[in-house]
Amino acid sequence: MTMQRKRATEEVAIRKLVDAFVTSIRAKDLDGVMAAFAPDVVSFDLGPPLQHGGGETFAKRWRELFDAYEGALDYEVRDLSITAGDDVAFSRSLNHVSGTLKNGQKTARWLRWTAGYRKLDGKWLIVHEQVSVPIDVRNGTALLDLVP
């Protein structure tokens, strides 16, 4: 297999992982979401603290997110770009999440998502993720109304 073909094969495998991750988010399937991540994942997510680790604490954050919404979530990954080596890869995308909170408020926002992957025991897993939104540096407020 040529190097170019091998890289394309790895990118397809990561794309399948991301697709399953998105399907799990939409269904609020915690086990499916957690299956995308390495147990020792490091996450730089929107909420405090500055860094989140894996394990039960990480699962709890996802559970709290799912519990905040009434019904299913709408989740879209746009402009997914993947660069893959033999056992390390990264991706970047713009992700849209929307739904109705349990208090009836409808929410919708675009996020910037960067993920780092490692191939562990023949399977790609997310070992690092960065989720962010742009901010107005003059006043320190998040810009949640931007669209691609």
Dump pLDDT digits (tens) for 112-138: 999 999 999 999 999 999 999 999 999
**Residue 7 pLDDT > 90:** no
pLDDT of res. 4: 84
Q: Using the 8-state DSSP alphabet, how is residue 148 labeled?
A: -
| Residue 20's pLDDT band (cuts 50, 70, 90) | very high
Mean pLDDT, range 53-82, rounded to an integer? 95
Its CATH architecture, for the domain 3-134, is Roll (3.10)
pLDDT for res 111: 97
Confidence of residue 14 (pLDDT cuts 50, 70, 90): very high
Q: What CA–CA distances, in Å, run from 71 to 27, 84, 88, 91, 96?
A: 9, 35, 35, 29, 17
How many Cβ atoms from other residues are within 10 Å of residue 118's Cβ? 14
What does pLDDT average to over the chain? 95
Residue 1 pLDDT > 80, yes or no? no
pLDDT score recorded for residue 72: 86
Helices (DSSP H) in the chain: which residue ranges? 3-27, 30-34, 55-68
Nearest to 33 by CA among 6, 61, 12: 61
